[in-house]
Amino acid sequence: NKPVKLEHHTRANDILARVRAEKPHVDVERGLLFTESFKQTEGEPLVLRWAKALYHYAEKATVYVDKDQLIVGRGGGEGRYGLLYPELDGDTLDLAIKKLPTRESSPFDIDPEDAKTIIEDIAPYWKGKTFHEDLAKALGPETMKLTYNPDEALTSRYVVNETASFRSSLQWVHDYDIVLKKGFGGLKAEAEARLAELDEFSPIDNCEKRPFLEAEILTADAIILWANRHADLAEQQAGEESDPKRAAELRRIAETCRWVPEHPARTFYEAMQSQWFTQLFSRIEQKTGTIISNGRMDQYLYPFYKADKEAGRITADEAQELFECMWVDMAQYIDLYLSDAGGAFNEGYAHWEAVTIGGQTPEGYDATNELTYILLKSKREFPLNYPDLAARIHTRSPKRYLREVARTIKSGEGFPKLLNDEDVVPLLLSKGAKFDEALDYSVSGCAECRMPNRDTYTSPNAYINFAAALEMVMYNGRMLKYGDEVLGLQTGEFEDFKSFDDLFAAFLKQQNNLLKHAFIQQHEIIRLRAEHFATPLGSMLQKLCRDSCIDLHQPKIPGGIDLGYLEYMGYATVIDSLAAIKKLVFEEHVISLHELKEACEHNFEGYEVIRQLLKNAPAYGNDDPYADEIGKILDRTAQEFTAKYSEQIGVHMDIRLVPFTSHVPFGKVVSATPDGRQAFTPLSDGSSAAQGADHEGPTAILLSNYLTKNFDHNEHAGRLLNIKLSPGCVAGKEGTEKLVEFIETWRDLKLWHVQFNVMNNDTLREAQKHPELYRNLIVRIAGYSAFFTELSKDLQDELISRNEQEAF
Ligand code: 8X3
C-alpha cells in the first residue's frame, strides 16, 4: 500500500512525505484577520463586511510558495493546517483549544503563542455574537432538549442534530468554468458596469444591489492582490535559487500568478492554478462543510489540455503531475471542527472535495475523454485520500471507462465512488431543472449532487437519529442514556402494545416527531444564517446570485432550486429491529415484549439466547421482502412528512441516507436495540445493511436497496451504499469483468451511489496492532477515504465489523 514511485510522482511524493509526519496544527491568521476587519466594519451591510475581511486577509496574510510545488497557495503555515471561523461557533473557542490537542477524533496541535492570540484577540470579540449562540437562543425547549445537552458548551445530544453550527454552508461546487473563461478581472468589469447603471433613486438598488456589487468588486480585487503577492514571492525565490531548473519553475509560477485568476486562463497550467486559487480563497471565505468540491474537472479543463496537447505544450504525464501537485495542496488544508460533534462526524481529518469524472455532456452524450482516464490513473498511481473521486455512470458509459473504474476500485483505496446518472438526472428534472442543467450535475458531497448555476440552497442540514425514536417507543419517550428525562412522545408502555400495527404506528409517531423538530431547527437556521454569513466569492460564481445581486446565504434567490436534506440515521438498525419484533413477538410468539425489553435493558448480558434469535430474524440487505417492506414504509412515511412541510419552508427537505462517520457518535447514545445490536455501538451506516446482518451476497444488498426505494416519490436524495469486497473476489481479469457486471446491475437498478472497500479484515486487524507499519493504508469510510491509522478505535472496529463479501 505504498505510493508508487514513478518518475513523475517523485515531486508530489516528496511534498507529501514532508507534511504527513506531523499532527495537523491550528493556524490563527484567518480567524485573527477576519476578527480585526469585523471590528472595523460593524453596522455595514454584511456582504460588504465579508468582502472587506477578504481584502484585509489578502493584504496581510502570509503567503507561501512551497518547496518543489508547481501549484502554489496555502491558507496556513507549513504542514497540515486547520483554520478558525470564529463567526460560526467561536463562543466555544476557549474550551476547544484545551481539548483539541488530545481529543480522540481528529486532534490538532496549537502553538502556545497562538493559543494566547485566540484567548486574548479572537474569542472575546465573538462572545455573544456567534451563529451558534443565536441558534441555541432561537430553539424552544422541546426542540432544544432533542438538540443539545444542557451543558455550557451546548454539546450535541445526537438525537436531532443540527449541523449548521459547525459549518456555514453545505457541500458546494462553484462554477469554475466562468473563472477560467472570464477571470476575476472580467467578473469585476461586469460588476462595475452594472454599478454604473444602477438607478440612483431606487431603494433596492441603493440598499441591496449596490453593496452586493461593491462586494463583488472588492472580492475580485482581493483575490487578484493575493495572487500577485504569490507572484512577488515566487520572483524573489527565483532570484535566490541556485538550482536553475527550480529557478525556471519559480519564474513560471510568478508569471502564472500575475496572470490568473485575474485573466482568462490560456493554458492547462494556468487553468489549474486559477482553479486552486479560487477554491482556496473560497475556503478562507467561509467554512463549507465537507468543503468546496472540484466539479467536473475532466470537462472544464479538457479544452485547455486538448489545446496544449495539440500544440505540443504538455504530455499526459505532465498533466498528471499537475493534478498530483494540487492533490497535495488539498491534503494540507484540514477541515477543523471545534466541536466534538463536528470532529466525530468527520473522522480521519475528513474533507472530500469531490472531483467528478465521466457522465454525460449537457447534450446527453457520453462525456468521457482523455482527462477522465488521467484522473483515474492518478488515483491508482498516487494513493492519497484527498481529493475524493466520483465517477458518474450511465447506460452508455463506454466499456473502457467501466473497466478502468473497476481496475481503480480494485487497487484498494476506495476510489472512485460511483454516482448513477440514471437515478440522479430524473430526480433533478423532477425538482424543476432543465435537461442541460441536470445532465451537467457535479458530485459535491459524499453522495450529493449540485447544478452549480441552478442550486441555491446552502443551509446545513439535520441528522436525525431514528434508532433513538425506536428507543423512545421502548421506554415511553425516554432513552436510557438520558435517564428519566422525557425526550420524545409518550406513546405508552412497550409491554402494552397488542399488535405489531399498533407498535409500528407508535414508531411512526416518534419518527414524525423528530422530523417535526428537525423542521423547526431548519426554519430558524434559514432565518439566522442570512443575518450571520455572507459569501461574496461564492455568490459571484453563481449566475442567479449575480443576476439578482443577492448573496447565496439569503433565503430565496429568484430562479433557484433549493435542495436541502434530512438524514435518516440508522435505517437498517430500525428496519431489522422492527422486523425482529414483528416476527418473533407478534407472529411466532417466541418472546414477549417484556422479555425483549428486559434483554435490551441488560444489554443482552445473560440473554444471549434472545440475542441470537434477534440476530437471526429477517434483516435488510438480504433481498428479503419481510424486512424490505418495512424499510419501504419508513422511507415513504418520512418522505410524505417532508413533502408537506417542505412547501411551508420553501425548501425541499429531502430524505437521504448519507451519514459520513456520524453513525458512530449517534450509536453512542442509543442503548441495545431489538436487532441484537449492543448498547452504544455504531448504528448501520447510510443505506448499507447493519454490520454483519447481510449474508446473501452483494447482489442481495443491491436488491434490498432497490426494493426499499419509493421511486414514485420526489422527496428523496442520496443513498450511500458501502460494500466490502475481499481482494480474492475481484482478482485478475475475471474479477474486473465481474465487478463491471456488478456495477452495471447497480446502474440498471437505478440506485444512487455505491462505493467499495477491497480489503481483508486480517489486514485491518494487523494495522490496528502495528499502526507504524500501515501509515499509508487508506480505507473507504462514507463518501470519502481516510488513512486507517488516523481513525478512532470505534470507527476502526466498525469498519472491521462490516461484512466482507467473498463472492458475487
Ligand atoms: C454530506 C455532505 O454537507 O451535505 O456528504 O452534509 S453535507
Q: Which atom of ligand 1 is nearest to the CA of 352?
A: 5
Q: What is the pLDDT of residue 269?
A: 98
What are the catalytic residues?
A: 446, 448
3-state SS record for 269-303: HHHHHHHHHHHHHHHHHCCECCCEECECHHHHCHH
Round the average pLDDT of the chain to a whole number and report it: 94
User: Is-contact 643 273, C-beta < 8 A?
Assistant: no
Host H or E run for residue 393: strand 389-393
| Strand 355-358 with 292-293, pairing | unpaired
| Set of cell numbers at residue 373 | 482516464
d(CA 467, CA 359): 36
Q: What is the mean pLDDT of residues 211-224?
A: 98
Q: How does residue 715 score in pLDDT terms, banded at 50, 70 and 90?
A: very high
- Arithmetic mean of pLDDT, 548-552: 98
Cβ–ligand 1 contact at 289 (below 6 Å): yes
User: What would the grid cell of residue 695 be?
Assistant: 449474508
The DSSP call for residue 104 is S
Which of 161, 163, 171 maximizes ligand 1 atoms within 8 Å of its Cβ, making it the mutation to test the pocket?
171
In whole angstroms, what separates CA 696 from the centre of its chain? 30
Report the nearest-CA residue for atom 2 of ligand 1: 445
Task: Look at 346 and 767; give whichever has higher pLDDT.
Answer: 767
The pLDDT > 90 percentage for the chain reads: 81
Condensed to tens digits (0 to 9), the pLDDT of residues 736-775 reads: 999 999 999 999 999 999 999 898 888 889 889 988 878 7
Summarised one tens digit per residue, pLDDT across range 145-169 is 999 998 877 889 999 999 999 899 9
| 448 CA distance to ligand 1 middle (Å) | 7
Ligand 1 pocket: which of 161, 286, 337, 446 to mutate (most atoms within 8 A of CB): 446
Residue 805: the pLDDT is: 81
Q: What is the total residue count of the chain? A: 808
Tell me the C-alpha to C-alpha distance, in Å, between residue 234 and each of 10, 57, 250, 325, 590. Answer: 21, 19, 5, 16, 75
pLDDT in tens, 318-333: 999 999 999 999 999 9
CATH of domain 1-124+168-354+444-458: 3.20.70.20
Residue 7's pLDDT is 62
C-alpha cell at 321: 503531475
Compute the distance from residue 289 Cα to the ligand 1 centre, in Å.
Answer: 7
Q: Which amino acid is at 534?
A: A
pLDDT in tens, 597-621: 999 999 999 999 999 999 999 999 9
Query: If pLDDT is split at 50, 70 and 90, which confidence band does 436 have?
Result: very high
Residue 188 has pLDDT above 70, yes or no: yes
pLDDT at 357: 98
Which of 6-15, 636-645, 659-668 has the least mean pLDDT?
Answer: 6-15
Q: How many Cβ atoms are within 10 Å of 195's Cβ, its own excluded?
A: 17
C-alpha cell at 807: 463472492
Instruction: Say yes or no to pLDDT of 564 above 60.
Output: yes
Q: For ligand 1, is residue 170 a contact (CB within 6 Å)?
A: yes
The pLDDT assigned to 759 comes to 82
Q: Which residues contact 163 (CB under 8 A, 6 or more apart)?
A: 289, 342, 345, 460, 461, 462, 463
pLDDT at residue 81, as a whole number: 95
pLDDT at 776: 75
Q: How far are the Cα atoms of 470, 494, 647, 764 from residue 476, in angstroms, in the given order? A: 10, 7, 31, 40
For residue 1, the model assigns a pLDDT of: 40
At residue 772, the pLDDT reads 81
pLDDT digits (tens, 9 = 90+) for 95-110: 889 888 988 778 899 9
pLDDT surpassing 90 at residue 786 = no
Index of the ligand 1 atom closest to the CA of residue 447: 5
Residue type, 465: N
Q: Say if ligand 1 is within 6 A of residue 171 CB.
A: yes
Residue 290's pLDDT is 73
Supply the pLDDT for residue 99.
87
**How many contiguous H segments (helices) and E segments (strands) does the chain have?**
35, 19
